[in-house]
A = this chain, B = another copy of it.
Amino acid sequence: MHHSLTGTGTHLADPRPHVVIVGGGFAGLAAARTLADAPVRITLLDRTNHHLFQPLLYQVATAVLNPADISVPIRWLLRKQQNATVVMADVDRIDPADKTVSLDGGSVLLSFDFLLLAAGARHAYFGHPEWEQFAPGLKNIEDALEMRRRFLLSFEAAERASAVGERDALLTFVIVGGGPTGVELAGMIPEVTHHALKGEFRRIDPSKARVLLLEGGPRILPAFPEELSAQAQRDLEALGVEVRTNCVVTTVDADGVVAGGERIDAHTVFWGAGNQASPLAKQLGVPLDRAGRVSLNADLSVPGYEYIFCAGDVASTTTDDGKPVPAVAPAANQMGELVGRNIAHTVAGSSRETFRYFNKGDLATIGRHKAVAVIGGAKLRGLFAWLTWLFVHILYLVGMRNRLTVVVQWAYQYLTFQRGVRLITGTTVHRLLKASKAANDKRRAA
């Protein structure tokens, strides 16, 4: 069944191959753009209406930026590309042999000639999915709003708490995972507690809040050179963050965590550890790695299906020297572009290219004006690394307006120490405390 969704109604007579792209993140968008002049028709499917600049999501979670500052409507980005149709839909089944995807509970079936699965990843909870309710991760706008809500509400609840222990737990923030997300989150919190909230509370002192960054491995930022890991740890400690390495989390519940054998009472736990690829990968029926990702051919096609590709966080590939390609935006971009080119090559009857990851560098920011970076082999730190970080992020932010408002908000924040987006929506202190109590009671009963 060729559903009319896919074109103008005349597409049954349209001889162009149909490319279906699942996911409008960095990989999916790059593939669609690469195919702009190819004789194909493209349908890009996404559950949301926006492309998200994920690298700045932690700034939404910590009340620096608005959600819309880092999200752009996908159909706005592709408005001038006449061979592309953007459809907001949930994909729930892929039939690789039949060459169809089914949308929205099977109500729509879509045939494809080429498929790119670029549906991204969620967090991995080390086989403990029940931890997610206590320790949300940071992958999409909803996640960031949930984090912001918990983060800001904890101060409101602490101001009202009557027991000292409860107050301390409400003012303890635990971040699990010492990768870039964990480091950047941890580095932002002291800015808020020491400056933005200063003088606003009558019963608590927000600057007394504890921030702990827990990393299971021997050092934070394991993808960086050792000396930069050490520098980042010193920078974080200078901000008052307690960094614990070789510290494995064994329990997460409504009271906090057990880490390295010690219980830490904390009302707010954020998760920045490990990825689990989209469950859609399973539907391809090919072997997956431990993180649920698809191991691909050199041309990024799926073994056994030369017309199906994967890219981004759902793909498992290696660099020239055999290391895994990291789950970062530039890698997703490069994969998406290669998939676009390989589809165009196939349509044109020419041979496909092999994926080669080009590492543009690694960057992680720490607080107000520090960062660590490796760019072209050069190791940067301190203010210069931070300025590099700033430049790169503004440069890559998609959409002129977003670039402008982000710069305005950063400038405001930098000059005034204020947070511009301290908005709590969707819940109340009462519901927060009640939910936390209910979760606790349930756990204790179990």
Contacts and interface: CB of A to CB of B under 8 A. Distances in A.
A103 to B, nearest CB: 8
A401 interface: yes
Contact of A88 (B4, B402, B428): B428
A145 to B, nearest CB: 7
A430 interface: yes
A47 interface: yes
Given A48-B424, A159-B87, A423-B71, A104 B430 contact: yes
Contacts of A318: none
A77 to B, nearest CB: 9
A430 B104 CA distance: 6
Given A160-B87, A160-B89, A405 B420 contact: yes
Interface in A388-446: 401-402, 404-405, 408-409, 412, 416, 418, 420-426, 428-430, 433
Nearest to A7: B202
Interface residues of A, number: 65
A203 B8 contact: yes
Contact of A68 (B416, B420, B426): B420
A67 interface: yes
A429 B201 contact: no
Interface in A248-262: none
Contacts of A203: 8-9, 85
Contacts of A153: 88
A217 interface: no
A88 B162 CA distance: 15
Contacts of A402: 420
B199 A423 contact: no
A49 interface: yes
A200 B73 contact: yes
Given A49-B152, A89-B160, A429-B104, A422 B199 contact: no
A90 B428 contact: yes
B420 A67 contact: no
A323 B203 CA distance: 45
A270 to B, nearest CB: 19
A289 interface: no
Contacts of A66: 66-69, 421
Interface string A140-161: 0110010000001100100110
A290 interface: no
Contacts of A80: 199
A345 interface: no
A194 interface: no
Given A88-B429, A428-B90, A68 B422 contact: yes
A263 interface: no
A79 interface: yes
* Residue in A107, A424, A433 whose Cβ sees the most chain B Cβ within 10 Å: A424
A418 B405 contact: no
Contacts of A103: 430
Contacts of A198: 79
Nearest to A156: B88
A249 B203 CA distance: 51
Contact of A401 (B107, B156, B418): B418
A200 B105 CA distance: 26
Closest 10 CB pairs of A and B: A104-B430, A66-B66, A68-B421, A88-B156, A75-B200, A79-B200, A49-B424, A68-B423, A85-B202, A73-B422
30 contacts: A4-B162, A7-B202, A9-B203, A48-B425, A48-B428, A49-B422, A50-B424, A67-B423, A80-B199, A85-B202, A85-B203, A87-B159, A88-B156, A88-B424, A88-B428, A89-B428, A89-B429, A103-B430, A104-B429, A104-B433, A105-B430, A108-B160, A145-B425, A401-B412, A401-B416, A401-B418, A402-B420, A405-B405, A405-B408, A405-B409
